[in-house]
Structure 1
Amino acid sequence: MNHNMPTPSGTKNVVSSHSVFGAPCWVSLTSRDVKATEEFYGAVLGWQWRPAKLGDRFRIALADGSPVASIAGVAAMWQMAVAWTPYFAVRSADEAVARVQERMGTVAVGPISLPPGRAALLADRDGASFGIWEGDLFTDWETWRNAQPAFITLHTRDAFDAAIFYGEILDWASGRPGCCEVHYEGGEVVLRSRGDVVARIESGALEAAPDPTIRPHWQVHFTVEDVEACARAAELHGGSVLSKGGDEAVLRDHDGAQFTVTARRGR
């Protein structure tokens, strides 16, 4: 699993000021080469960049001036996989980590203090990596959601089993203020927060598959104005198009990380 830990930071206190819990609140990418990664995602998604407080190997991606993601150029140095990882907002990182351990998940890193909050990198029972974040968010949750990340999808062995695992860790369908609702729609488990679809879980992944694209994993979807243009830009800048159809395309960046671009009208 990948051990990328750049997470939301930059606010003044450790007490969480947001009211959304159990929903994805950030996405992070491990990279071998920060400059090449900046060039690729700048060309494909139109991102701008600013430094992160964690050091020279870290960058914050901006879409129209709003923070949308972080990049850590540590894959080669720390011998990590190159991959996108979603982070979920939680009330207590310690409690979430304990729940993962109780349910036979894996704790790779943390919880560790990353002011103004705390983070941990985990994996579910089938090996899909994800992170948790306790504390203030980088920007308002609605602003982040509308800036570019549309939603995330878990490709897993058994959608219902995965929904139970994550639900017990992240308080899905608990009725607690700010927590997410879980529905079954169109053959998938669907996670909603404030009425918006923020994640989907679908069955069919193979845990021991030699191809990592069909092993259990979280896939990050970014909204774009022109899917075709993004696909062309990816190929021109050393990436590839894994599949394309309708309002979305699955792309692989120059470093091998997989992600999806979804037409804004398709949200």
Structure 2
Amino acid sequence: MFDDLDAAKDFYGHVLGWTFGETPPDQGGYTQAYADGKAVAAVVPPMPGQEGTSQWCLYLAARDASATAARIRDHGGDLLMDPLQVADYGTMCLARDPGGAVFGVWQAGSHEGFQATGTPGAYCWAEVFTREPEKSDAFFPAVFPYRSKQLEGETDFRLYDLGGRTVLGRMRMTDDFPPEVPPYINVYFAVDDCDAAVARATERGGALRFGPVDSPFGRFAAVGDPQGASFSVIDLGTTSGEMPGTTAVG
């Protein structure tokens, strides 16, 4: 969601190599983004009253958006937008977990979501950043069919598994985060070269917020775009160190 769609297209086209589809006049400015010809994201203008809050929103898939919305309410979350059918594309709603992180829910119709993940320019990972991890840890596995496991080590980091696959992380926000930064879901886009992607981002007015740093998962960095939206880039092929252990907790 961006106040200036043209500026967003210029920035992400340069940093992630995206191309963009047409913007149908009857779809409120919704513009599909593509990496290597495959749908990987979309840029949209803010909803009325949301101007000045450019940000990324991750949509979690649901078989029944209305039933998921009811579970969100039942487990202490807030609905920011009730389930809304979008033509034949699907049904969406927007919500906030009890710790304050905003996310979307998408019940697919003709539009199923990502056409590619984990390849350069495409989404590959996301983490819930929260100051109240106990609330998120109770909420997400109650609303979605997740099982949780705690990453071993000094960092308070939890993984949410769906079936046999890890699909989402949860990170406790420490005092390193300025108090004015609200809880949020940080999305990661895959790149061929993390350092080169950071250089492209800063050339176009973005801000480096963390990294680049090596990890067992890849070399990554956290970036802010010129309109203030936060995201991360990661080179999944450049890894360092051993994978940390985990402990099942739910």
Q: Aligned pair 1:199/2:172, yes or no?
A: no
Would the alpha carbon gap of residues 137 and 250 (structure 1) be closer, same or farther in structure 2, given more than 3 Å must change? farther
- Aligned partners of 1:151 and 1:197 also within 8 Å: no
- Distance in 1 (alpha carbons) for counterparts of 2:145 and 2:118: 24
1:230 aligned to which of 197, 213, 217: 197
Unaligned runs of 5+ in 2: 240-250
| Alignment map for 1:40-55 (pairs within 5 Å) | 40-53=11-24, 55=27
Corresponding residue for residue 8 of structure 1: none
- Aligned partners of 2:157 and 2:169 also within 8 Å: yes
Would the alpha carbon gap of residues 51 and 96 (structure 1) be closer, same or farther in structure 2, given more than 3 Å must change? same
- Aligned partners of 1:205 and 1:216 also within 8 Å: no
- Aligned partners of 1:231 and 1:241 also within 8 Å: yes
- Distance in 1 (alpha carbons) for counterparts of 2:23 and 2:163: 30
Unaligned runs of 5+ in 1: 1-29, 174-181
- Distance in 2 (alpha carbons) for counterparts of 1:58 and 1:140: 14
Task: Specify the code of the residue in structure 2 equivalent to 1:184.
Answer: Q
Alpha-carbon shift at residue 222 of structure 1 (Å):
0.7
What SS does structure 1 have at the residue aligned with 2:195?
helix
- Distance in 2 (alpha carbons) for counterparts of 1:137 and 1:163: 32
Q: What are the superposed Cα offsets for residues 54-89 of structure 1, whole Å, 9 maximum, x if unpaired?
A: 536221110111100010023687425111110000
CA RMSD of aligned residues (A): 2.4
Alpha-carbon shift at residue 197 of structure 1 (Å):
3.1
Would the alpha carbon gap of residues 137 and 165 (structure 1) be closer, same or farther in structure 2, given more than 3 Å must change? farther
Identify the structure with bigger relative contact order (alpha carbons < 8 Å, sequence gap 6+). 1
Q: What are the superposed Cα offsets for residues 107-129 of structure 1, whole Å, 9 maximum, x if unpaired?
A: 11120011232100000112110
Corresponding residue for residue 3 of structure 2: 32
What SS does structure 2 have at the residue aligned with 1:145?
coil
Instruction: Report the TM-score when normalising by structure 2.
Output: 0.81
- Aligned partners of 2:130 and 2:184 also within 8 Å: yes
Task: Specify the code of the residue in structure 2 equivalent to 1:258.
Answer: S
Q: Aligned pair 1:66/2:32, yes or no?
A: no
Count of matched residue pairs: 226
1:165 aligned to which of 133, 139, 144: 139
Instruction: Report the TM-score when normalising by structure 1.
Output: 0.76
Corresponding residue for residue 159 of structure 2: 190
